[in-house]
Amino acid sequence: MLRNIFASTITILFIITAVIPVNLVSFTPSIAIDNVINSHIPLSNGNTLYVGGTGEGNYTKIQDAIDNASDGDTVFVYNSTYFENLFLEKSICLVGEDRNNTIIYPRNLSENSIIYIAANNCTIDGFSIRNEDFQEDSIGIFINSSGNKINGNIITRSKHGIYLKDITNNGHTYVGNNISNNEISNCTYGIYLYANAEKNVIYNNDIIDNLEGIDLYYCVNTSVIGNYVYSNTVYGIYISINSDGNIILRNVCIENRYGIRFKGVNFNEIYLNRLERNELGLYSCCGSSNNIIYKNTCIDNEKHASDAFLNKWDNGIIGNYWDDYNGTDNDGDGIGDTPYPIPNGNNEDRYPLMEPYKNQPPEAPFIDGPKKGKVGIKYDYIFNSTDPDGDKVFYYILWNDVNNITTPFAPSGVDLIVSHTWTKEGIFSIKARASDPFGSLSDWSELEVEIPRNKAFYVSFFLKFLERLLLNNLIKIF
């Protein structure tokens, strides 16, 4: 009898191990990823309320849907023309079907805002915000909060296209607003930040035919990047009054009176901008000091620059391109042998460029870390890329077994340590490439990693199973 029981036990074990895949009887832990995937898409975890269109239960007025929404909801507005003044006091996403055909006009001209944002973390995306005629006191989008995304809108004929201001005068600090991909025209002020504002972003907007384009007052650590600023009557970009430590980068300023003017401000970094056919390209005035201006391209301006104060017109290695520079480059390194004098003061560009600056991509990153490991264990991997221009870099990393990530910026040539927990067995290839702030990409690098099956656990699981099965059969004997 014992022989029969033992034989049946072995038969059962053979069938189990033959039929059940190995990865089902081995241990697989929960996923534990240590990095957050960057996303520029507004996320909403709530419900969606619809305005316009033909759906049953859709709202006819946008404000009615906003009033009935809750934090985290999305209000989706179908193409039509709406005459409303909107007030957002909840953290919602307000999304238009098509910015050319989802149009909002003010219903009440005595209310100076077409859209007023009082809540944090709102999104306004995909609208045309207009006045029939220019309204002297009107505001297209008025922001009185933090963490908002104003993306992909067309705004015309207002005093302020987009206006950030603390109307309470209680010293609020507004942080993390992102104003991107908008078209703003025929306004007095295109984008006007006049508040205790920090770490806001103005990115890739078209600012055309306004009195003033982009204005910063009392703003610190704000990024003005990649905007097209054309044919504004006075300022293309104006940095004034306690606006320190900002980055003005890769903007194209054409046919404005002043391309970029910085007034009484400190420690701003102005680089890789194109100043063309302005009356005055780069203008420092009224006590501005310790700002750094480099890698800019100045072409066909009536006057390229003016600075009577103490600013740096190169970064110690590279200066700017001036199309009227008449110096020589005897050593052929692309940098003029004599400085370029900045008018109206004692400043000079010590390293003027012989040609407009051409950004160089970073080198393919070095990747190092464990080449063998186990599922469920956190491992540190090192990424390091050197940028020939000394620019900061970030990395696109493909883990091959789970979600990919984009890292924060790291200094050129400095190790960035990124943790990863492998989620399954196999042979994987970590792939990474580096990017500088201007979108120039390196080649890909790879590191092969082997994550074998956890044999110790599998054997332990098998032995415990065998022990229990034999014990049950022995119990039957006795």
- Summarize pLDDT for 342-400 with one digit per residue, the tens: 999 999 999 999 999 888 899 999 999 999 999 989 999 999 999 987 778 999 999 88
The per-residue pLDDT of the chain, averaged, comes to 85
Residues 6+ apart with CB under 8 A from 426: 401, 450, 451
Instruction: Give residue 423's pLDDT.
Output: 87
Q: Which helix (H) or strand (E) holds 472?
A: helix 455-477
Is 447 in the same domain as 464? Answer: no
Same domain, 54 and 111: yes
Q: Distance (Å, rounded) from C-alpha 95 to C-alpha 113?
A: 18
Q: How confident is the model at residue 437 (pLDDT cuts 50, 70, 90)?
A: confident
One domain for residues 75 and 116? yes
> Facing residues of 229 across strands?
207, 253
- Name the band, by pLDDT with cuts 50, 70 and 90, for residue 16: very low
Given a cut of 90, whether residue 171 has pLDDT beyond it is no
Q: Are residues 238 and 290 in the same domain?
A: yes
Q: Considering its fold, how many domains does the chain have in total? A: 3
Q: Which domain holds residue 373?
A: 366-451
Look at residue 122 and tell me if it is in a domain.
Answer: yes
At 401, which CATH number? 2.60.40.10
For the segment 256-263, the average pLDDT, to the nearest whole number, is 98
pLDDT score, position 169: 67
Instruction: Kindly state whether residue 54 falls inside one of the protein's structural domains.
Output: yes
Amino acid making up residue 470: L
In 3-state terms, what secondary structure has residue 68?
A: helix
Whether 195 and 218 share a structural domain: yes
| Statement: residue 94 has pLDDT above 60 | yes
DSSP per-residue string spanning 24-65: HHS--PPP---SPPP--S----S-EEEESSS-TT-BSSHHHH
Q: Are 140 and 155 in contact (CB under 8 A)?
A: yes
Of 83-87, 181-185, 424-428, the range with the lowest mean pLDDT is 424-428
Candidates 106, 57, 112, 68; CA nearest to 84 is 106
Instruction: Name the pLDDT band for 102 (thresholds 50, 70, 90).
Output: very high
Query: Is residue 37 situated within a structural domain?
Result: no
Do the domain assignments include residue 268? yes
Across the range 305-327, mean pLDDT stands at 96
Q: Is residue 36 part of a domain?
A: no
Sheet holding 445-451, edge to edge: 405-406, 394-398, 426-435, 445-451
Q: Is residue 118 situated within a structural domain?
A: yes
Q: Is the pTM of this model over 0.85?
A: no
d(CA 446, CA 433): 9
Q: 267-278, pLDDT tens digit by residue?
A: 999 999 999 999
How many other C-beta atoms can be found within 10 angstroms of the C-beta atom of residue 55?
Answer: 10
Residue 297 has pLDDT above 90, yes or no: yes
pLDDT at residue 249 is higher than 80: yes
CATH code of the domain in which 176 resides: 2.160.20.10
Same-domain status, 284 and 396? no
Residue 165 has pLDDT above 60, yes or no: yes
Which is more confidently placed, 55 or 177? 177
Is there a single domain that holds both residue 397 and residue 286?
no
CB 349 within 8 A of CB 342: yes
pLDDT of residue 245: 96
Question: Which carries the bigger pLDDT value, residue 193 or residue 454?
Answer: 193
Tell me what pLDDT residue 359 has.
Answer: 81
Check whether 38 has a pLDDT greater than 50: no
Considering the chain, what percentage of its residues have pLDDT values greater than 90?
71
| 305 located within any domain | yes
464 SS3 class: helix
Q: Do 113 and 20 sit in the same domain of this protein?
A: no
Q: What is the mean pLDDT of residues 156-165?
A: 95
What DSSP state is assigned to residue 99? T
Is residue 219 predicted with pLDDT exceeding 70? yes
**Residues 276 and 390 occupy one common structural domain:** no
Q: Quick one: 439 and 405 in the same domain?
A: yes
Same domain, 466 and 372: no
Q: Which residues, in sequence order, are CB contacts of 121 under 8 Å at separation 6+?
A: 91, 146, 147, 148
For 242-301, the DSSP string reads: S--S-EEES-EEES-SEEEEEES-BS-EEES-EEES-SEEEEEETT-EEEEEES-EEES-
pLDDT at 336 over 90: yes
**pLDDT tens column, 459-476:** 444 455 555 655 555 444
pLDDT of residue 5: 36
Question: Would 33 be classed as within a structural domain?
Answer: no
- State residue 418's pLDDT score: 93
